[in-house]
């Protein structure tokens, strides 16, 4: 993306995850959404590119869009988020043949027919719990040649080892609330990971830490979810400008909370889309990427000038936001 000329408005790129959602509640409420700023913005923009994938891909569209903007390799289930975070934290580079993985402590809901992954972001793991379990599991993982490190926040760790070099894993945003069997890496390469998850379950089943959580009305921490696996290139060249993301749609979208999703969209329209519209009207080079379950669709300013361009804007119908969101 070109940089802004000196003295002009700075270029901006906004990525909105879960802008469209195919679950029953969210799909039903799309037609009722009234998003005046987004509607006005869309009349001044045109589609630039689509990244269309199946809903069964391990990496959702918003992660693919963000990875591309950051200059990361975009391979399904192997966007190296963990390796990027490790570099940002100043951790030693993994040796050749080794990769990184992000491990999120989580609660597996055991049902009659399946086991579902609880969203790690709602688990409420404090720093002391995270440190206690990290100390407990570090030697256990070391037996498989995996080194554990504290991550960016409690309940999230970074792991390095040969297991994570080429193993494709599903994003938490794909798997949360879903049966684990649908999103676990089922190939032979994933067997060590599945074994570690099951053995971690057994280690934590009777851990006093979970007794204390039960007394506080919190679900037990009974396993982990691995994602963001892979190795990072020596040189990463992000696209200018750095992308902005807003994730306020994530939680209601994953819960199929249609009223909450619509409310989050209205707040986005006022708090985030309005400034983007103002930037565009001030001459900024603006990009907007709307992401759903299958598609990341990027828009940029309409090009061309003169009477012909004005006539096209008058007579060409810009896509309605509800139609755009419904197609994601």
Q: Using one digit for the tens of pLDDT, what is the confidence trace for 22-75?
A: 999 999 999 899 999 999 999 999 999 999 999 999 999 999 999 999 999 999
Per DSSP, 179 falls in state B
Q: Are 156 and 43 in contact (CB under 8 A)?
A: no
Q: What phi-psi label fits residue 83: left (phi over 0), alpha (psi between -120 and 50 degrees) or beta?
A: alpha
Q: What phi-psi label fits residue 95: left (phi over 0), alpha (psi between -120 and 50 degrees) or beta?
A: beta
| Predicted pLDDT at 2 | 46
At 175, is the secondary structure helix, strand, or coil? helix
| Predicted pLDDT at 315 | 46
Residue found by looking up tokens 């995850």 in the block:
17
CA-nearest of 324, 303, 107 to 214 is 107
Mean of pLDDT over the chain: 91
Residue 111 binned pLDDT confidence (cut-offs 50, 70, 90): confident
Strands (E), 53-177: 99-106, 108-110, 115-117, 147-150, 156-161
Q: In sequence order, what are the residues at sequence separation of 6 or more whose Cβ sits closer than 8 angstroms to the Cβ of residue 29?
A: 258, 259, 261, 262
Question: Any bridge partners for residue 115, and if so which?
Answer: 110
Q: Give the residue, 9 or 86, on which the prediction is more confident.
A: 86
Average pLDDT estimate for 177-193: 90
Cα separation, 261 vs 251, whole angstroms:
8
Spell out the long-range contacts of 108-114 with Cβ–Cβ below 8 A and sequence spacing 24 or more: 108/180, 108/201, 108/222, 108/223, 114/179, 114/180, 114/181
Q: Using one digit for the tens of pLDDT, what is the confidence trace for 64-92?
A: 999 999 999 999 999 999 999 999 999 99
Cα separation, 171 vs 173, whole angstroms:
5
Q: Are 42 and 319 in contact (CB under 8 A)?
A: yes
Pairing of strands 147-150, 115-117: unpaired
| Predicted pLDDT at 241 | 84
| Predicted pLDDT at 305 | 53
Q: Using one digit for the tens of pLDDT, what is the confidence trace for 246-275?
A: 999 999 999 999 999 999 999 999 999 999
By CB atoms closer than 10 A (0-12, 13-18, 19+), residue 203 is middle
Instruction: Read off the pTM.
Output: 0.91
Strands (E), the chain: 12-16, 45-52, 99-106, 108-110, 115-117, 147-150, 156-161, 223-230, 244-245, 286-291, 295-301
């Amino acid at each position: 993306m070109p940089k802004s000329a000196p003295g002009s408005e700075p270029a901006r790129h906004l990525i909105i995850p879960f802008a469209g959602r195919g679950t029953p509640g969210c799909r039903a409420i799309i037609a009722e959404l009234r998003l005046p700023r987004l509607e006005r913005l869309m009349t001044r923009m045109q589609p630039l590119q689509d990244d269309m994938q199946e809903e069964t891909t391990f990496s959702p569209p918003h992660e693919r869009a963000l990875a591309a903007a950051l200059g990361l390799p975009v391979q399904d289930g192997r966007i190296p988020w963990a390796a990027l975070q490790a570099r940002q934290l100043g951790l030693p580079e993994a040796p050749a043949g080794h990769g990184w993985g992000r491990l999120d402590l989580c609660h597996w809901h055991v049902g009659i027919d399946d086991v579902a992954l609880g969203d790690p972001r709602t688990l409420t793991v404090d720093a002391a719990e995270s440190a206690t379990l990290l100390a407990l599991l570090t030697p256990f993982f070391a037996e498989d040649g995996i080194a554990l490190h504290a991550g960016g926040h409690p309940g999230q760790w970074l792991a390095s080892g040969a297991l994570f070099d080429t193993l494709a894993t599903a994003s938490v945003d794909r798997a949360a609330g879903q049966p684990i069997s649908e999103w676990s890496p089922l190939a032979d390469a994933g067997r060590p990971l599945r074994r570690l998850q099951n053995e971690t379950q057994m280690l934590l089943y009777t851990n006093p830490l979970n007794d204390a959580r039960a007394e506080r009305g919190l679900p037990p921490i009974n396993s982990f979810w691995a994602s963001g696996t892979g190795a990072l290139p020596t040189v990463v060249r992000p696209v200018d400008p750095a992308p902005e993301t807003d994730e306020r749609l994530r939680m209601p979208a994953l819960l199929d909370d249609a009223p909450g999703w619509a409310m989050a969209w209205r707040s986005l329209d006022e708090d985030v889309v309005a400034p983007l519209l103002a930037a565009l009207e001030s001459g900024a080079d603006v990009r907007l990427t709307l992401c759903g379950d299958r598609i990341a669709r990027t828009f940029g300013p309409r090009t061309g000038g003169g009477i012909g361009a004005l006539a096209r804007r008058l007579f060409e119908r810009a896509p309605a936001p509800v139609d755009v969101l419904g197609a994601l």
